[in-house]
Structure 1
Amino acid sequence: MTLKRIYIVAGELSGDILGAGLMRELKARHPDVEFRGVGGPRMIELGMQSRFPLETLSVMGLVEVLKHLPELLRVRKMLKAEALAWQPDLMLGIDAPDFNLGLERTLHDAGIKTAHYVSPSVWAWRQGRVKKIARAVDGMLTLLPFEADFYREHRVPVAFVGHPLADELPLDTDRRAARETLGLATEGPLVALLPGSRANEIRFMGPTFLTAAARLCERFPALQFVIPAATPARHQELNALLTEYPELATRVTLLEGQAREAMVASDIVLLTSGTAALEAMLCHRPMLVAYKMAPATHWLAKRLVKARWISLPNLIAQETLVPELIQDAASAHEIAEQLARLLDHPVEREALEARFAAMHAALQRGASRRAAEAIEALAAGQPLVQGDS
């Protein structure tokens, strides 16, 4: 089947990256295919006719969503009308599930094939949403294997396509070269500290991470730290915070960005979960996850979240490879103890690096190519090919 028209709605910058990779693959297979919907600069450069700026859908938080709800509903109504008039071979929503699943359901009910790329965290909380997803899409495209397992259990057609970040990062890492690039000592133990990319994460975790670092310095005289600040604002906040820890003045290198290089350069990574944990795994570095949140948020999360782990390496492995210290357990003392254990056991660190390299290889599947194959199958009315997932 030759694809002629694909309607794509991406919800944020990460969706623009995924959408551009998929569009590139589809154009190579179907040179005359057209794309309409919502996309960012990468997708537009590849020929996407974007009806609204990407930022239109990039609304986070309950209050912000409520404030923009009339506009979001207006946009969805216009996209629905255009898609129905254009009659694409398939409509694909990339992430932004609160917006896209409603649009997908409407178009699906009207007879248009639909798919969703990037699973919401339905396996972790509000699992009842899987019924809504099953009614909205002909297929789900997941980045991670345990997500695909969840959909199979609930009889939703699914394809595990792999993670684009795994395709992007090399399977071979060079710790010494990374240290030279960052101007760090090539010998001696090094811990990368990633206290988060948001201001509230620095507020909750920054002092705890630095207090733990100061305690470790007492036990490991040659230990050094590197902190990649996610943004200029985070760099300023961390720089101010470091003035309260004069004992770390000669031990810490504060970077502007370069998180990936800092991870590769390190022996161990201390971080606050999220995508950073996946990236550390793909850099093949042992890590410790420590996270605190507002007490009310933690109380609610404990009652809503069903997942056994919060970090992606553990979820992918379906076993505890990475220690997780949450809320009261994430004390400076316990963090220092856990890091000291890892520093004292190089053989254990090497085993983890090898395990993470194997997991990286399993995720390195050519995600954009596999996503394109899934789109072709769905548009043709064929079942999704599960492959060796």
Structure 2
Amino acid sequence: MMNSDTDIKTPAAQSPVFAIVVGEHSGDTLGAGLMTALLKRFPNAKFIGIGGPKMLALGFESLFDMEELSVMGIFEVLGRLKRLFHVKDSLVDHFSANNPDVFIGIDAPDFNLRLEQQLKEQGIKTVHYVSPSVWAWRQKRIFKIAKATNMVLSLLPFEKNFYDQHNVPCTFVGHPLADDIPLTSDKALARSELSLPEKSKILALMPGSRGGELSRLVAPFLQTAQQLLIQDDSLIFVAPLISEKRAAQFNQLKNDIAPDLPVQVIINNTQQVMAASDCLLTASGTVTLEAALIKRPMIICYKFNFVTFIIAKLMVKLEWFSLPNLLANKTLVPELLQQDVCVENILPLVKERLYKDQSELNQAFMTIHQSLQQNASEKSAEAVINLLPDNFSHVISTVNE
């Protein structure tokens, strides 16, 4: 394992080129953490591919906007297929001509695994960071992953067991969020910093970071909030949105659905808003893991495009779809999917979690937090460095000592 106290730094002439492709904001966070860890060893390293704002702030050179890959669902992808192939082919051409030392695809498996396989066939070492859910559906994808990658970096402990059974190289690195988020979150401090009232109950409305999911969830979320306000006029609503673009979309929908509902929109400060809240009404995704680590009760909702839902229903055989429940291997938090996402179902679930003791749930969240707290960015950087070409061998051997 690498030790930050004895980081090895190399001159620019010996610094590697890392190609990275991310497809959404959670991948941008992982990419920024990995870049930070790699820059400790190689301060003059070059990073190029597709990155988000956090990676760009660290000096990443993005060949395309990250939004190009932010597409969720089978039906939605079909409408963007021609453009996605153009982006992939352009990346293959660029990396083939410039030959990065290692390629790291972060999440976005349908896009990145195709790209990784083409690059691996050309002799470029490839890493896939965040395992696809092969343990849940389309398990034969494990053979495609084996062809496409030299190493898989898994965030969840049960994933590595699946890869080991198929003799596919995999390193369990834990989750960077578990490293970054403190074991206890100070609600009073978060409220003070956000200028939110100290005593009122606060419900966070979190309809998603993608345009499609937000458009499908805003209406039931706002309608539930309207009913809650009738029953408790002291209740405060906040909506943390990932960007100005999503905030504008949210506000437009709110003006149409619930123009008089008081909702404070806060941009790009999701974790602090969660810490300040008593309960979260949220879309599914990585944000539910953040909520568990911050240790706030939540109701998780998701609505797919209808065609995507029908196909997924036939292919996915899981008892749960949210990360907190999958990690606990039991129902910790309520999940509502598709037509079940309605005010009649959401309302009683929110009321129960806003006004009742949640200490038992918090203890379960603490267990999850401790299991994922593995110094993930450092472990990921170590795995990537071990794939560097032989001309970096003196650095690799020193790092591993």
TM-score between the two structures when normalised by the length of structure 2: 0.79
- Structure 2 matches for 1:55-204, cutoff 5 A? 55=66, 58=69, 60=71, 61-70=77-86, 72-83=88-99, 88=101, 90-204=102-216
Q: Which residue of 1 aligns with 2:298?
A: 287
1:233 aligns with 2:233: no
Change (3 A) 1:275 1:58: same
> Greater shift after overlay, 215-224 or 113-122?
215-224
Question: Partners in 1 of 2:382 and 2:41 — Cα distance?
Answer: 10
Q: Residue by residue, what CA displacement relative to the aligned partner does 1:330-359 show, whole Å, maximum 9, x if unpaired?
A: 22112112222224431xx12212322332
> Number of residues paired by the alignment?
369
Shift of 1:223: 3.5
Change (3 A) 1:102 1:207: closer
1:24 aligns with 2:36: yes
1:304 aligns with 2:319: no
1:376 aligns with 2:388: no
Question: Partners in 2 of 1:155 and 1:236 — Cα distance?
Answer: 49
Give the letter aligned to residue 240 of structure 1.
N
Question: Partners in 2 of 1:44 and 1:188 — Cα distance?
Answer: 38
Question: Partners in 2 of 1:140 and 1:178 — Cα distance?
Answer: 36
Shift of 1:217: 4.0
Aligned partners of 2:192 and 2:198 also within 8 Å: yes
Question: Partners in 2 of 1:328 and 1:44 — Cα distance?
Answer: 39
Aligned partners of 1:239 and 1:254 also within 8 Å: no
2:159 partner SS: helix
Runs (4+) off by over 6 Å:
none
Question: Partners in 2 of 1:326 and 1:75 — Cα distance?
Answer: 36
Give the letter aligned to residue 363 of structure 1.
L
1:323 aligns with 2:334: yes
Question: Partners in 2 of 1:53 and 1:221 — Cα distance?
Answer: 46
Shift of 1:316: 1.9
Question: Partners in 2 of 1:26 and 1:199 — Cα distance?
Answer: 32
Change (3 A) 1:207 1:128: same
- The CA RMSD over aligned residues, in Å, is 3.3
Change (3 A) 1:186 1:59: closer
Q: Residue by residue, what CA displacement relative to the aligned partner does 1:260-310 show, whole Å, maximum 9, x if unpaired?
A: 222111111111211221221122101111223343332222112233211
Question: Partners in 1 of 2:210 and 2:68 — Cα distance?
Answer: 20
2:132 partner SS: coil
Q: Which residue of 2 aligns with 1:361?
A: 370
Q: Which residue of 1 aligns with 2:285?
A: 274
Change (3 A) 1:44 1:176: closer
Question: Partners in 2 of 1:355 and 1:371 — Cα distance?
Answer: 26
Question: Partners in 1 of 2:36 and 2:337 — Cα distance?
Answer: 41
1:263 aligns with 2:278: no
Gaps of 5+ in 1: 383-389
Q: Residue by residue, what CA displacement relative to the aligned partner does 1:196-218 show, whole Å, maximum 9, x if unpaired?
A: 33444444322322332333345
Shift of 1:109: 4.0
Change (3 A) 1:92 1:256: closer
Aligned partners of 2:202 and 2:279 also within 8 Å: yes
1:237 partner SS: helix
Aligned partners of 1:91 and 1:113 also within 8 Å: yes
> Greater shift after overlay, 314-323 or 226-235?
226-235
Change (3 A) 1:185 1:307: same
Aligned partners of 1:9 and 1:93 also within 8 Å: yes
Aligned partners of 1:260 and 1:279 also within 8 Å: yes
Give the letter aligned to residue 193 of structure 1.
L
1:278 partner SS: helix
